[in-house]
Structure formats: structure tokens, C-alpha cells
Structure 1
Amino acid sequence: MKKLPVIAGILMLLFVSSCRDIVNSVLDALPPFDVPFNTTLDVPFASVSTTGYTKTPDLPMNIDLDAKIKENNPNFSINNLKSVKLNSLTLNYVSSQLGNKLDIIKNARIYVKAPNQTDRLIATAYNNTNPNTITFSIPDEEILEYFRTTQNYLVLEIQANNVTVDQIKMNVVSGFKIKVQL
């Protein structure tokens, strides 16, 4: 007889949690979508060591997710933002002042930065030998808080193959997976 309330409680818990899942799936009226970020920028490249990392100046993204969300559905806004994850990141060589290409970069780490947030590592590339493209490995991590503002930046840390100074123009191609709910 004492087991009956426990069993009833467990069944009620299962029913309530499955109802919540159904409600959340119905509320996903706006399916997840990609927000691309592409820009070409000149990155000052100064490496005095091949063992340490050199940090570049902040690279402004200034992604306005509120506008991107409203483009997909005007009934939603930044207040409905539930998830932001980086799903792709590539650097492509455009040109350089002294002829160096991207194979001058041995290892690279990219961080996302926003006001009142600590810099967060979002992508890495190791043992690069490609002169034209660096494709980054990306952890499946939530970076929502960095995009509640339009003041967001990428910070690139580079470990060089050789000691050099140059100005490299590169194209940053990235994509963010966005999830919005009521």
C-alpha cells in the first residue's frame, strides 16, 4: 500500500516532464536557423617567437541578432533567444604586404568577446600547413550571452611557424546556429 503513492508520484513526474517537452516543441514555431558572419580584414601579424601565442587586436563582428531574428519572424526578438552556437569557422587568405600566406600560422585559437563577459575560447586549429585556408575545430558549446548585445568581437591568438612581421588580409567565414522560442 505504501508503494502506491510512490508509483503514482513517479508516473505523474513522467507525465509532467513529457508534457513540457511537447509544449517546448510546439513553441519552436521558429525553427533553428543559421546566421552567417563573413568579413575581410587586415590582421597585423607580428611574431617574435615560435613557441608563444601573439594576440591580434579585437576584430569587431557587431552581429545584431535582434534584427536577424526579426528577419525570420517579426513576432520574435532578442528576448526570445534561447541558444547560440558557432557551427563553422574558416580563415581564407586574400593577400599580404610581404608575401606571407596562412601557412605562416602553425596554431591558432579564436575567442569570442563581449562587454561584461570573460573572453571564451570557441575555435582552435593546430599544425596548420595550408597556405590558403585554415579550418577550425569547434566545440559544441553555448555562447548565448555574448550575443545579447551587438558589441561582440573575435580575438585571434596565433602561434607562428617562423619569426616574422606582416599585415595579412584574410576573409573570415563563420556561421552561428540560432534557436528562438516563445
Structure 2
Amino acid sequence: MKKLSLIMGMLVLFFTTSCRDIVNSVLDVLPPFDVPFTTTLAVPFANVSTTTYTRTPEIPMNIDLDAKIKQNNPNYSINNLKSVKMSTLDIEYVSSQFDTKLDVIKNARIYIKAPNQPEKLIATVANNTNQNNITFSVPDEELINYFRTNQNSLIFEIQANAVNADQITMKMNSGFKVKVQL
């Protein structure tokens, strides 16, 4: 009798675990997808310090995730949003007035901002020496609350390698991994 109880218990556990896997796979009908954001910005370096960080004005992203979700599947909306995480962020050199390259940026931090949310650090780079491209380290952190609205923006903090008076135009490429469920 004890063997029968043990076998039945094992079967119930097996079926319960299997059902959970089936339910989770059904809920993930819409696979995670990437939402890219690209912008070109001009950053003046006349006041950028070599000892402290200098903040740039906010860069509006205004990513409308509701529209992006509906574009992938019209049956889903922002109400089905389960997760948003930054997957990549890099900056490419475009031009400058006096041929200053990106190696003038020693350290940089990027924050995300949205209404009723605190600023959150989402990317960093330290000891940059690359002239044409900077790839940021991106932590694996949840950003869902910053994308429940389309009023989101980025803020740069830059520390220079040397004092410089120039304006650098750069292209920022970023990507966000979005998960949606029923």
C-alpha cells in the first residue's frame, strides 16, 4: 500500500509539473522581441570636466511600447507587458567641428527617466580609449515601469579624458528586450 501511495504521489507531482510547463509555454505565445531606439545627438564639450561628471539635457525617447506590442500581435497591449530590459547600447562617432573623436570621453553613465519614477542607471563605460565606437555595459535589470508610458527619456553623464572645446555629433543605438504575456 505504501508503494502504491508513493507511486501515485510521484505521478501527481509529474503531471502537476508538466501542466505548469504547458501553461507557461501557452502564456508565452508571443515570443520576446527587440525594440530598437536610435538617435543622433550633438554633445558640446566646452564645459565637460575631467574630474567630475557633466550632465547633458534629457534626450527624449518617447518609445510607444503599446504600439510596438500591437504591431507584433494586435491581441496584446501594454497591459500584457511582463518585462522590459535593455539589451544593447553603443555610440558611434559621426562628426565634430574640430576633429575631436569619442576617445575624449573617459567615463560615461546613462540614466533612464519617466514620470513618477526615479532616475535609474542603465549603462556605463569606464576608461574608454576607442575613437569611433563606445560599447556600454548594460546591467540585466527590469525597466518595465519606465515603459508603461511613452514619456521616457535618457540622461548622459560624461567625464572627459582632457579639457576640450568642441561639439561631437554621435549616433546612439540601443535595444530593449520586451516580453508580453496573457
TM-score normalised by L of structure 1: 0.88
The unaligned stretches of length 5 or more in structure 1 are 1-7
CA displacement, residues 78-110 of structure 1 (integer Å, 9 cap, x when unaligned): 000000000000011111223221110000111
Query: In structure 1, what is the equivalent of residue 97 of structure 2?
Result: 97
Shift of 1:23: 1.2
1:52 aligns with 2:52: yes
For 1:120, the equivalent position in structure 2 comes to 120
Q: Aligned partners of 2:26, 2:105: CA distance in 1, in Å?
A: 46
Equivalent position of 2:156 in the other structure: 156
Q: Which residue of 1 aligns with 2:5?
A: none
1:1-182 alignment to 2 at 5 Å? 19-182=19-182
Amino acid at match of 2:174: S
Structure 2 unmatched runs, 5+: 1-7
Instruction: State how far apart, in whole Å, the 1-side matches of 2:47 and 2:14 are.
Output: 58
Q: CA deviation at 1:53?
A: 0.4
Q: Are the aligned partners of 1:45 and 1:56 in contact in 2 as well (CA < 8 Å)?
A: no
Aligned residues with identical type, % of pairs: 72
Deviation per CA, 1:157-182, whole angstroms, max 9, x where unpaired? 00100122332211000110000001
CA contact (8 A) 2:46 2:166 kept: yes
**3-state SS, counterpart of residue 165 of structure 2:** strand
Q: Read off the aligned partner of 2:181 and give its amino acid letter.
A: Q
Equivalences, count: 180
Q: TM-score w.r.t. structure 2 length?
A: 0.88
Amino acid at match of 1:160: A
CA distance in 1, matches of 2:46, 2:145: 31
Counterpart contact for 1:89–1:136, Cα < 8 Å: yes
| Structure 1 CA distance for aligned equivalents of residues 179 and 113 of structure 2 | 20
Q: Spell out, residue by residue over 1:127-150, the C-alpha distance to the aligned partner (whole angstroms, 9 max, x if none).
A: 101111100011111101000111
